[in-house]
Amino acid sequence: MSPLTKADFDYICDLVYKRSAIVLDSRKEYLVQSRLASVANQNGCASLAELVTGLRTQPSGRLSQMVVEAMTTNETSFFRDLHPFEALKKVVIPELLAKRPGEPHVMIWCAAASSGQEPYSIALLLREHFPQIPQGNVRIIATDLNTQVLEQARQGIYNQIEVNRGLPVTMLMRYFEKSGVNWQLREDIRHMVEFRECNLIQPWPLIPSVDILFLRNVLIYFDQETKKSILAKVRRTLKPDAALFLGGAETTMNIDDCFERVPLEKTAYYRVRKAT
């Protein structure tokens, strides 16, 4: 397909920013055009120009949602980067249990769940290492703005390449079942995670106060003001002793001074500073 005109490219960048706060610029023009070509083909558009004409006619319809979803990055894997999950296992969850003897309730939110590997990794970690927590006392909410990947996540079906990325073989054999050439998570594990649609720059769905929040590899796509707005809402969602995990290249420094960084062996998490 012929490339976008500058006016059309600027229109796409503006639409995506208004709908998702994702910042696109000229350095990503090839990426934008290649992803738009797929959307154009799905909708029977003969050219990118025809696609943009359709967007201009109905800027808030299903087509614009497809364009925004196409611009999201859904890179994920089981136990991605490993160290945050080790921190959960060795430090964060044990400390949480120590503060709440008896039958503790644990509320976890994965705020950019993509196709589900991250929240399912947490569910598997809890099942493997914390059997003393009744399953009914664990609630994992997983959200994303991309409705297509959320549907895949609900099904819990992954191909061989996806299960080979980060998932221990012992967990594959214990918690997955063959589904044709793919693998599907057992139903009891799938039921541990509740998937919802959520656009972080729009009003959030009702989320209970959380003990652990994974907001990893999300803030890097936003400008400074959007980051401040999201972190302010995060603070109101966290319990006083909650742990916030960001991506390895992300920080709250110079964005929101109400957080403090808690270093661990090979990673770190953030918590809201206690009032003095």
Q: Which tens digit of pLDDT belongs to each residue from 15-74?
A: 889 888 888 877 778 888 888 888 888 888 888 888 888 888 877 778 888 888 888 877
Active-site residue, from 35, 139, 196, 271: 35
Query: What burial class does residue 140 get, using C-beta atoms within 10 Å of its C-beta: 0-12 exposed, 13-18 middle, 19+ buried?
Result: buried
- Residue for token digits 């799905």? 42
Which candidate, 180, 228, 173, 240, places its Cα nearest to that of 200? 228
pTM of the complete model beyond 0.95? no
Active-site residue, from 8, 144, 211, 256: 144
> What is the per-residue DSSP string for 175-220?
HEEEETTEEEE-HHHHTTEEEEE--TTSPPP----EEEEEETT-GG
Q: Which tens digit of pLDDT belongs to each residue from 236-265?
A: 999 999 999 999 899 999 999 999 999 998
The answer to whether residue 144 is catalytic is yes
**Structure-token pair, residue 43:** 């909708």
The answer to whether residue 35 is catalytic is yes
**Structure-token pair, residue 125:** 């970690």
